[in-house]
A and B are shown apart, each in its own frame.
Chain A
Amino acid sequence: MFAMLDFDASPYGAYVWPAFAITALVFIGMIAGALAHARHWRARTETLRKTAEGAEAARRPPAQDLGKDIAP
């Protein structure tokens, strides 16, 4: 099946293969960069949200035990 493909780039292999290799590297860089950026800020947002929720819960006054007041 692969016999129909022509991977012999001579005498221009020194130009053809680096072009494909650089393209692959740039795409890998773009993918890694985009995923790392998104994952970093998603994790940071989750951490800050949990911290904010914890601080909010700490500021809230404790719930009153109404049962104590009305108990006979």
Chain B
Amino acid sequence: MIPAPAFLSNPERFMAFSRWAAPMFGALAVGLALAGLWLGFAAPEDYQQGDTVRIMFIHVPAAWMSMFVYACLGVASFLSLVFRHALADAAAQAAAPLGAAFTALALITGSLWGRPMWGAWWVWDARMTSVLVLFLFYVAYMALRAALDDEAKAARAGAILALVGVVNLPIVKFSVDWWNSLHQGASVFRADGPTVADVFLYPLLLMALAYMSAFGSLWLVRIRGEVWRRRAEALALRAARA
């Protein structure tokens, strides 16, 4: 069996860990976001994009998080499906609404950048279409979980759907390389280093870390909520049987 971190394999230890880790990640997110926004608004206008370059500081981290959260959903679903780990299933269920929110943010802020720069709110470009498909996977996962009353069946069906959706992640990432795309290619995570000027790169990275910390905090809070929900349902069932 794959060794899980101790706090993942024991709900009591997870609850003790998350009690202090969630607010700590939240405070870290606020600090990083303030620093990122400060540098972002101190940066000069881009010579081509003008002030719309500031949308990049909130759009690009949201787009990265949409994929990262789906990867977390995929790993948690795999652990839930293969090892029937209740906390892994709770983690998967807790990640979905956050991932959907980040993906929606990426689509909306991208659209608000695209209108002045491309002259269109939306184009059926490979990157944008694959991100829309990613959003639909999140929505389908949540709808499937909500539609099934049997918790075990919902967990299994949701995990299978989530794992099918993992196929979409490389499509999102490499869509700009595989197809002719209006969307720009990778400019930060490249083998030959970032092509973004430092004055834009630093606020972008700070905002990305802020989004990551915020996700860490909110994910832990949502998993705690899931643990309590399952405890409440177990207690209600026991009371009904007595």
Q: Which residue of A lies closest to B105 (CB)?
A: A26
Q: Are A33 and B97 in contact (CB under 8 A)?
A: yes
Interface residues of B in 51-95 (CB under 8 A from A): 51-52, 54-55, 58-59, 62
Determine the distance from Cα of A6 to Cα of B45 in the docked complex, in whole angstroms. Answer: 9
Counting contact residues on chain A (CB < 8 A from B), the size range is 35 or more
What B residues does A31 contact at CB under 8 A?
218
Interface: B41 (CB within 8 A):
yes
**A26–B101 touching, CB < 8 Å:** yes
Interface locus among B136-144, B164-172, B227-235: B227-235
Q: Contact at B52–A16, with CB atoms within 8 Å?
A: yes
A19 near B58 (CB under 8 angstroms)? yes
B232-A41 in contact (CB<8A) = yes
Contact indicator A16/B51 (Cβ below 8 Å): yes
Q: How far is the CA of A23 from the CA of B111 in the complex (A)?
A: 13
When the two chains form their complex, are residues A45 and B231 in contact, meaning their CB atoms are under 8 A apart? yes
- Is A71 part of the contact surface with B, judged by Cβ < 8 Å? no
Besides A41-B232, A48-B235, 17 more A-B contacts (Cβ < 8 Å) are: A6-B44, A6-B51, A7-B41, A9-B54, A12-B52, A15-B52, A19-B58, A22-B108, A26-B101, A26-B105, A30-B218, A34-B221, A37-B222, A38-B221, A42-B228, A48-B232, A52-B235
